[in-house]
Amino acid sequence: MTNHWIDFKNSDCILIMGSNAAENHPICWKWVTRAQEAGGTVIHVDPRYTRTSSKSDLYVPLRSGSDIGVLGGMIKYIVDNDLIQKEYVLHYTNASFIVSKDFSFSDGLFSGFDEAGRKYDKKSWDFEMDENGVPKRDMTLQDPRCVYQILKKHYDRYDIKKVSAISGSPEDKLLAFYKAYTATGKPDKSGTILYAMGWTQHTVGVQNIRAMSIIQLLLGNMGVAGGGVNALRGESNVQGSTDQALLFHIIPGYLATPRANWPTLEEYLKANTPVSKDPKSVNWWQNRPKYVASLLKSFYKEADLPTAYNWMPKLDAGQNASWLVLFDKMLKGQFKGFFAWGMNPAASGADSNKTREALSKLDWMVNVNIFDNETGSFWKGPGMDPKKIKTEVFFLPCCVSVEKEGSISNSGRWMQWRYAGPKPMGDTKPDGDIIYELALKIRELYKKDKGAFPDPILGLNVDDWGDGHVFDPHKVAKLINGYFLKDTTIKGADGKETVYKAGSQLPSFVMLQADGSTCSGNWIYAGSYTDKGNMAARRDKTQTPEQEKVGLFPNWTWSWPVNRRVIYNRAGVDLQGKPWAPNKPVLAWDAANKKWLIDVVDGGGDAGAKHPFIMQKHGMGAIYGPGLNDGPLPEYYEPLECPVTEHPFSKTLNNPTALIFADEAHKRTTCDPRFPFVCTTYRVTEHWQTGVLTRWLPWLTEAQPQMFCEMSEELAELKGIKNGEKVILENPRGQLWAIAIVTKRFKPFEVMGNPVHVVGIPWHYGWVWPKDGGDAANLLTPAVGDPNTGIPETKAFMVNVKKA
């Protein structure tokens, strides 16, 4: 989230799209309700009428996977009716930038497409630079090659008739939605978007969010109270695990994973440190060498930086090591061993039958979890012959989150310290202890038996992990914050020099050094655990009257970065530093005292001195985004499995760069009369993820006992299905049973003149427990993914539904 949970209350219009916030994030509804009570409008756009819809002021149905059509239509509505927040768009976004002469777009494809390689050469998408190396701009926004005109032309095709025809959303509802949301383009109004997996789990997942980001920039909704782009995280600590680099392409602090084509630290830094010639661009990532050096020192305290970098494991050039690829390689026998740690891939990964078969190709698997699950017990699951499976499975029982101390970072980037509650049951251990003991044991074996390339193992800084026996979350939190390795003198902005002693905690990431004199396990968390103490453990509700207006609570826990509560807040004020919305300011420039008030300012310097989007090389909000793998502007593509053979915007049916596995074409279907219905997956309030925790809790399985399939009354009649009956869902990947919930909350969509039925299933069930609960929704989902993230398209695919 750019903003935070409490901030929802400040919004004039809350759009919930790609999310069922009321059910899946029940606590957030407190703040959504506050916004409504203050006169705000809540809009829910979803294939299914949910509890979120029931509490919204406007519900707009849309067919799963047609979001970019609907959002593209809103962009056109904004441009056609000139509803942009002009000053904001002009000064804070790249709308005025001139794009290369070589850029073009034709029939669903951007320039530079390599059909055989299913990828783009992005060179032609670049901005045109002036003689100083700064992007050329046209402040009149009239140049046909400026971003604003390219945007206008691009979305000119997205008229409401076409949008309605492909999405199945009624025109009057779309218009009501556009009108209500775009009213937040007024400087003193703000609109926010709450989204979740309903947007990300598509082959256009990243572009769904990009489309909304463009809308937010056009309406001036970034950096303001009640605005922003807000991903509702499904697990309490998904934000934290992402920050700590759970994903393959980054190392902690959103730094690129070292690759074989950057064999030295010098080459790595050259490739990953952006340069801006614009003096007003903060270009924050120019500091990357400091963050990388400090991270390397946190891993390898005694090694010099080039050696430490050399010790880092590296991906091959261009290698995609995301989830779907990993399991594809596993299936092809390219893995010997596998740790399934706090994960249940046999139920959580797309195409469960593929995943489960892949597990059978391993020599060994270690399953660290609280309960038995479909992954650890895959070898005795449905359709498996234990005699034929060689995989040796080890189960390590770990303790539950409430039994251990440490921090979680919530969706609003608040790092919140939690204390251990009850003692762990039996011999279960915290994950930290399991990892720590494993590391100590591996080091012992390397010391004893040597082995290949022992240096990265023996050189690892495990002193900061514990006392030699027991894992210490405080020590690790202090290492993540970072500390000085040598006595260091630092000159402040005021010219004053301060000496920091070796061993003292870093007060902020501003002090991080590129020469190896500081260590920090994650630069964005620098400032969280200083010599003043554990900031995440703060529980102080005091705030100034201005902070109280927006519910900022700056002394409650700690928010990354530097306790900033609303990121990009510099865009929340005009060039003079005056808040766009004086009644709910997040930031304000005190000209007399030359200082920023309310929140911690993004960037620094006086009002108007710096461009506001400091993480962007050119300092501007990216209406045009030339970095993604599937285009600088979101374009409409159908899901890889879809109920139509064409759509109204181009002849390019699907995302041409989507992640697919060529040898699986026979497992995918489009417009196949055998599998005529769109299926989508989702969650219920009562269960969590694959249900590994919740299916074992009797009160929760009492409330949601079994796999179900929601469908319209019309479809039920068509298929002769009665409410509460058992049905079978199937496609070439698999089959599962579910109890039919026949409901008015699903309605058939009229798509390109034809009726299209959408059905929905939850993904929380698995064959292990409860005995008559059903199996995983992912038995049906395809192993195809977004070209940028690799996230699977589990929100829109094709199935058949029949009576059991």
In angstroms, give the least distance from the CB of 29 to another protein: 5
Report the 10 Å Cβ neighbour count for 48: 22
Cis peptide before 561 (omega within 30 of 0): yes
Residue closer to another protein, measured from CB, 2 or 24: 24
Residue 125 or 553 with smaller CB distance to another protein: 553
Tell me which residues touch another protein (CB under 8 A). 22-23, 26-27, 29-30, 33, 37, 49, 51-55, 59, 684-686, 698-706, 708, 713, 722-725, 739-745, 747, 772
**CB nearer another protein, residue 279 or residue 720:** 720
d(CA 527, CA 483): 10
Tell the smallest beta-carbon distance from residue 686 to another protein (Å): 7
CB-CB contact of 449 with 421 (8 Å)? no
CB of 279 to another protein, least distance (A): 48
Question: 282 or 707, CB closer to another protein?
Answer: 707
59 or 596: whose CB is closer to another protein?
A: 59
Give the shortest CB-177-to-another protein separation in angstroms: 16
Give the residue with the Cβ less far from another protein, 244 or 701.
701
Shortest Å, Cβ 202 to another protein:
25
C-alpha 311/C-alpha 296 separation (Å) is 9
Q: From residue 632, how far is each of 69, 146, 147, 249, 473 by CA, in Å?
A: 16, 13, 10, 21, 42
Q: Least separation, in Å, of the C-beta of 413 and another protein?
A: 21
Minimum Å gap between C-beta 175 and another protein is 17
- Between 49 and 284, CB nearer to another protein: 49
Residue nearer to another protein on the CB measure, 546 or 714: 714
d(C-alpha 352, C-alpha 782), whole Å: 9
Q: How far is the CB of 14 from another protein (least distance, A)?
A: 14
Per DSSP, helices labelled H in 235-380 are 238-243, 265-272, 288-299, 305-311, 323-331, 345-348, 352-359
Instruction: Give the residue from 207, 209, 187 showing the smallest Cα distance to 196.
Output: 209
- Distance, in Å, from the CA atom of 731 to the CA atom of 780, rounded to the nearest integer, reads 6
Minimum CB separation of residue 563 from another protein in Å reads 26
Q: Are the CB atoms for 779 and 744 separated by under 8 Å?
A: no
Q: Which is nearer to another protein, 53 or 85 (CB)?
A: 53
Residue found by looking up tokens 């998408």 in the block = 125
Handedness of CA 384, 386, 387, 389 (dihedral sign): positive
* Residue 258 phi, psi (nearest 5): -55, 145
Pick between residue 553 and residue 765 the one whose CB is nearest to another protein: 765
Per the listing, tokens 């140049």 go with 143
- Smallest distance, Å, CB 556 to another protein? 18
Query: How far is Cα 503 from Cα 712, in angstroms, rounded to an integer?
Result: 64
Helices (H), 709-788: 713-719
Residue with tokens 């195809």: 784
We find the least distance from the C-beta atom of residue 743 to another protein, in angstroms, to be 7
Shorter beta-carbon distance to another protein: residue 273 or 685: 685
Between CA 154 and CA 250 the distance in angstroms is: 32
Q: How far is the CB of 701 from another protein (least distance, A)?
A: 7
Overall size of the chain counted in residues:
804
Name the minimum Å distance from CB 696 to another protein. Answer: 11
Residue closer to another protein (CB basis): 56 or 190: 56
Instruction: Please write down the HEC assignment for all residues of 451-464.
Output: CCCCHHHHCCCCCC
Q: 626 CB contacts (<8 Å, ≥6 apart)?
A: 122, 125, 126, 127, 632
Cα dihedral 551, 554, 558, 561 sign: positive
Nearest residue to 373 (alpha-carbon basis) of 381, 385, 361, 384: 381
- Residue whose tokens read 């530079």: 112
> 416: which strand partners?
408
Q: Which residue, among 559, 538, 411, has the nearest Cα to 24 in the 3D structure? A: 411
Nearest residue to 410 (alpha-carbon basis) of 206, 272, 241: 241
**Closest distance of CB 61 from another protein, Å:** 9
CA 102, 104, 110 angle in degrees (round to 5)? 115
- Rounded alpha-carbon distances, angstroms, from residue 604 to 340, 498, 570, 596, 600: 43, 20, 9, 9, 9
Task: Please report how close the Cβ of residue 795 comes to another protein at its closest, in angstroms.
Answer: 20
Tell me the pairing of strands 677-682 and 758-762.
parallel
Q: Distance (Å, rounded) from C-alpha 325 to C-alpha 346?
A: 15
Beta strands in 684-745 (DSSP E): 708-712, 726-731, 734-743
Least Å distance, CB 5 to another protein, is 11
**Cα–Cα distances in angstroms (integers) from residue 61 to residues 43, 761, 767, in the given order:** 11, 17, 33
CA dist., res. 373 & res. 692, Å (int): 6
Between 547 and 712, CB nearer to another protein? 712
Cα gap 662→448, rounded to integer Å: 46
- State residue 522 phi and psi, 5-degree precision: -170, 105
DSSP state of 258: P
Closer by beta carbon to another protein, 303 or else 736: 736
176 vs 389, beta carbon nearer another protein: 176
Cβ-based nearer residue to another protein, 126 or 725:
725
In the complex with another protein, the residue whose CB is nearer, 419 or 699, is: 699
* Residues 438, 430 contacting (CB under 8 angstroms): no
Q: Least distance to another protein from the beta carbon of 51, Å?
A: 5
Smaller CB distance to another protein: residue 171 or 606?
171
Q: Nearest distance from residue 28's CB to another protein, in Å?
A: 8
Cβ pair 620, 611 in contact under 8 A: yes
